[in-house]
Amino acid sequence: MVERKIKTVYDVVCPFCGTLCDDLEVDVNIGDQEVIEVRNACQIGTAKFYSSNPSEHRYTKPLIRKDGKLEEVSWDEAIEKTAEILVNSTRPLLYGFASTECDAQGKGVELAEILGGVLDNTASVCHGPTLLAEQDVGVPSSTLGEYKNRADLVIFWGSNPVHAHPRHLGRYSEFVRGYFKKDGRNDRVVVVVDPRNTHTAQIADLYIQVNPNEDYELMNAMRALLRGVEINEKEISGVPIEGIKKLVEIVKGCNYGVIFFGMGLTQSLAHHRNIDTAICLTRELNDHTKFLITPMRGHYNISGANTVFTWNTGYGYSIDFSRGYPRYNPGEYSSVDLLMRDEIDASFIVASDPASNFPADSVKNMFKHPLIAIEPHETPTSAFADVVLPPAIAGIECEGTAYRMDHVPLRLRKVKDAPKECLTDAEIIERIIEKAKELKGE
């Protein structure tokens, strides 16, 4: 029997979802650098740590497609090929960045500026509408710790944390004992508004079933009722008017309320207008009590991507550098729209898998042109890529900074070494920047 030497790394930040749990304990076999045990994480977070272990799905060497097959090459060759593709393109798209650390995101901005390309992150297909609404009407928000200690009313609107953010309920919003909410779950009223009777709805005190895509009308009615306006309709969006009046009384009557909303609002019809009216509702509730609103961000560092892009360019996503300066217009420069209209001639995908998530027609257009993927595992995107660059997984195999869904930055930890040849995302992009500058004669 081979003797195993195990090290335990404490207070590890989980690089999976926007909840960014920071209390994980990870056991690593020092000899072969394998994760053998993850404590405190949810099932999804645990699986992410195990995914870093050697497997047939993990890329360990740079690959270039030659005669239709991906072949192992040296880093120099792969970087040169990547830089050539990008420098020779007229409208390159740089997309992804949500599941990596902030340093790599900053390098991505630099590369996009050098190339005169389009820079986008996964907010484009998840909480981008949230950013649009925040730009239109502002946002009253707070950190998750405040909610944990003070909130006595928690509304999950179009979000299902039991499945998407499993530890959110235990750490911040439902079961946790807060400083002023000492009895945990018993001190909070939990309301779920969703078309589906989700597992979150099943543990709520009040579940309101709204018709799909009709959240806007429901919130609009709530805002009118809140202002003392009589509504002459029996039912709105599938909810009886008595039910809406009861909900209005509940939200007015709490001491400290919060709305957590998810993709049920941002990606159903009306998109950013759902968030627009949800924020207005929250703002108006502050005439009666204390009320705040927070988006349930998906990828662990998508808030970071928005933040890093914003401090570099002024805009959170969908940024076009083609004229040398950043311009912003989701719908015009957002990835899916660009690909649907086939306006791209090269794609550079970092830490993301658009082929699994984008509409089929846009993916077909993406595959028509050269595609570069910085990706640790085989995904539908990397399987069709012309160049695959294998990175160390941020938050497991290298350090970095990530922003939680409430914009609190946390330092990610390194728990194990990456496979021998893997570089970090930031190192890879830095090398591409150097090569691109050289090719452009800068």
Partner 1 sequence: MAEIKLTLKKQPDFPLEADAISPDNFAGKTQDEIKNFELYLGNKTVKLGDYFEIKGKSGNAEELTITIDGDLSNIKRIGEKMTAGEIIINGDVGMHVGNRMKGGKLKVNGNAGDWAGAMLEGGELEINGDAGHYVGAAYRGFWKGMEDGIIKVSGKIGNEAMLWARNSKGAGKWPTLYCGGAGTFLGIHNHGGTIIVEGDVDRCTGADQAWGMIVIKGKVSRKLPSYKKIGEVKEIELPNGEKIEGKFIEYSGDHSVKKETNGKLYIAA
The residues binding partner 1 (CB under 8 A) are 89-91, 115-117, 132, 135-136, 216-217, 220-221, 223-224, 227-233, 236, 269-270, 273, 276-277, 280, 321-323, 328-332, 341, 343, 345
Q: What whole-number distance in Å separates Cα of residue 221 and Cα of residue 80? A: 58
CB of 217 to partner 1, least distance (A): 6
Residues in a beta bridge with 60: none
Q: What whole-number distance in Å separates Cα of residue 200 and Cα of residue 403? A: 25
- Cβ contact 173:261 at 8 Å: no
CB nearer to partner 1: give 68 or 228: 228
Question: How are beta strands 319-320 and 118-121 bridged, if at all?
Answer: antiparallel
Q: What helix, strand, coil percent values describe the chain, rounded to 5? A: 40, 20, 40
CB nearer to partner 1: give 110 or 136: 136
Whose structure tokens read 């390159």? 92
CB of 321 to partner 1, least distance (A): 7
CB nearer to partner 1: give 233 or 249: 233
CB of 235 to partner 1, least distance (A): 10
CB of 225 to partner 1, least distance (A): 9
Interacting residues of 305 by C-beta distance below 8 A, sequence separation 6+? 97, 98, 105, 121, 122, 123, 316, 317
The identity of residue 183, as a single letter, is: D
CB nearer to partner 1: give 167 or 273: 273
CB of 342 to partner 1, least distance (A): 9
CB of 147 to partner 1, least distance (A): 26
CB of 322 to partner 1, least distance (A): 5
* Crossing angle of the two packed helices 241-253 and 215-226, in degrees rounded to 10: 60
CB nearer to partner 1: give 64 or 338: 338
Long-range contacts of 245-250 (CB under 8 A, 24+ apart): 247/191, 247/206, 247/208, 247/222, 248/222, 250/153, 250/189, 250/191, 250/206
CB nearer to partner 1: give 286 or 329: 329
CB nearer to partner 1: give 321 or 348: 321
**H or E element: which one contains 249?**
helix 241-253
CB nearer to partner 1: give 127 or 404: 127
Q: What whole-number distance in Å separates Cα of residue 312 and Cα of residue 297? A: 21
CB of 390 to partner 1, least distance (A): 28
